[in-house]
Chain A
Amino acid sequence: MRDRGLILAGLLIFLGIISVPVWYNLSSGKIPVMPELKLPASARECVAPISYMKTSHMKLLNEWRDQAVRAGNRTFTAYNGRTYAISLTATCLQQCHEDKAAFCDRCHAYNGVKSPNCWDCHVDPKLAQKPLRRVAATQTGASHDLR
């Protein structure tokens, strides 16, 4: 154990070098790159508290799906008593998040969450305005895993 000092010093230097990015960010006081999400321009509140939507929007959407299709109930009463039409396109996209690509897709891409298969069928209203062939071209990426 004659080299204890050398080994410990070497380890410390090694740890210092590999953690440089962390020290750099901490000292510069900047938060590392976050996705720039386009928040709704008109709507001030969501169908559920923001913290719930951040963690559990997928659960809410699954519940909406079952309510609308299986139970035939197409209105949702929110936590604050307001009612919304249960519709991914008409409520989520057309009323609030008008730019799906700059909100849903950007955050999913940042977090490495695969784009869900909702969009294989449900229509982004922006696509509906474009001519037919380009619609097909933009969709191929999402449905590759089905082929």
Chain B
Amino acid sequence: MIFDRKSFLRISGLSLAAFATRNSTAAFAGASRNEGTPAADSASGRRLAMVVDARRCLEKEGCDLCIQACHRSHNVPAIDDPRHEVKWIWKEPFKEAFVSEQSEFANSTFQDKPFMVFCNHCDRPPCVRVCPTKATWKREDGIVMMDWHRCIGCRYCMAACPYGSRSFNWLDPRPYIKSLNAEFPTRTKGVVEKCTFCPERLASGKLPACVEACTPKALAFGDLEDPNSQVRGWLGSRFAIRRKAELGTSPEVYYIV
């Protein structure tokens, strides 16, 4: 057989086309698979969530044991100026926290009552999507974690979070910390911070500081993937709402009303 120029060109053209098709199909298949999966990966077997029993929480007026415990153990500065304030847990009136649950003739039991609000540790966290340095990311157990070493203070995450769960350190926080807890770092000026569901406590088998401090037992914390967990028990027996769930962030803090 004579291998002439014509057959050489034909064979090389065909193999080039085959190679290109194979690569592009693989690329498209990969892309569509990524888009299809929800951010919550149940394969990891864990999906940590918090459930707040609103009635029990509101029983004692002015109670802020959870806030105190959280802010003390995480060295959260107490800055009164609302422009500079830093908060991990705070109180928000029902009508502000649950904007979409409003109606003119709604039961007024809750309207002006303060609700404890946290970072919602969303299943589809918008803050994680926008962070340019991966300083905030979603752990396999569902916690939306922060790495303050890596935060460059661009505040994209603050713009993306629909709950206002993130605070920026406009000032050096240390002078505003009443009692410094050496076990936990402070933050510096120029860093964003928020509730982290206490991974440092979970690692040693403890519950988050707020859950442990809540004497009225209004907070439950656990794994939604575990059918026998306390959170599943509470959610299975009573009706619960979430903050701005219609935005599609799939928040993991539930409120039993």
Asked whether any CB of chain A lies closer than 8 Å to the CB of B166, the reply is no
Find out whether the CB atom of B189 lies under 8 angstroms from the CB atom of A123. no
Residue of B at shortest CB range from A71? B139
Question: Which segment, of A19-27, A37-45, A103-111, A133-141, faces chain B?
Answer: A133-141
Asked whether any CB of chain B lies closer than 8 Å to the CB of A29, the reply is no
Cβ contacts A112-128/B at 8 Å (1 or 0 each): 00000100111111011
How many chain B residues touch A (CB < 8 A): the figure is 27
Docked complex Cα distance between A136 and B176 (Å): 9
Find out whether the CB atom of B149 lies under 8 angstroms from the CB atom of A69. yes
Asked whether any CB of chain B lies closer than 8 Å to the CB of A70, the reply is yes
User: Given contacts A128-B182, A135-B180, A136-B172, are A146 and B188 in contact (CB under 8 A)?
Assistant: yes
Asked whether any CB of chain B lies closer than 8 Å to the CB of A83, the reply is no
Asked whether any CB of chain B lies closer than 8 Å to the CB of A72, the reply is yes
8 contacts between A and B (CB under 8 A): A65-B149, A89-B182, A124-B182, A127-B180, A127-B182, A133-B175, A146-B188, A146-B189
Docked complex Cα distance between A147 and B188 (Å): 11
Find out whether the CB atom of A139 lies under 8 angstroms from the CB atom of B182. no
User: Which residues of the other chain, B, contact A120 by a CB distance below 8 angstroms?
Assistant: 188
Per the 8 Å Cβ criterion, residues 67-98 of B in contact with A are: 75
Asked whether any CB of chain B lies closer than 8 Å to the CB of A12, the reply is no
CB distance from B87 to the nearest CB of A (A): 18
A→B interface (CB under 8 Å): 65, 69-70, 72, 74, 89-90, 94, 117, 120-125, 127-128, 132-133, 135-136, 139, 143, 146-147
User: Given contacts A89-B182, A123-B185, A143-B188, are A70 and B147 in contact (CB under 8 A)?
Assistant: yes
User: Which residues of the other chain, B, contact A65 by a CB distance below 8 angstroms?
Assistant: 149
User: Which residues of the other chain, A, contact B189 by a CB distance below 8 angstroms?
Assistant: 143, 146-147
In the complex, which of the residues A123, A143, A146 contacts B182, with contact meaning CB atoms closer than 8 Å? A123
B→A interface (CB under 8 Å): 75, 139, 145, 147-149, 172, 174-175, 177-190, 199-200, 203-204
In the complex, which of the residues B174, B183, B188, B190 contacts A135, with contact meaning CB atoms closer than 8 Å? B174
User: Which residues of the other chain, B, contact A132 by a CB distance below 8 angstroms?
Assistant: 175, 177-178, 180
Docked complex Cα distance between A136 and B188 (Å): 12
In the complex, which of the residues B139, B148, B178 contacts A121, with contact meaning CB atoms closer than 8 Å? B148
Find out whether the CB atom of A136 lies under 8 angstroms from the CB atom of B174. yes
Find out whether the CB atom of B172 lies under 8 angstroms from the CB atom of A143. yes
User: Given contacts A132-B178, A136-B175, are A74 and B203 in contact (CB under 8 A)?
Assistant: yes
Docked complex Cα distance between A72 and B174 (Å): 26
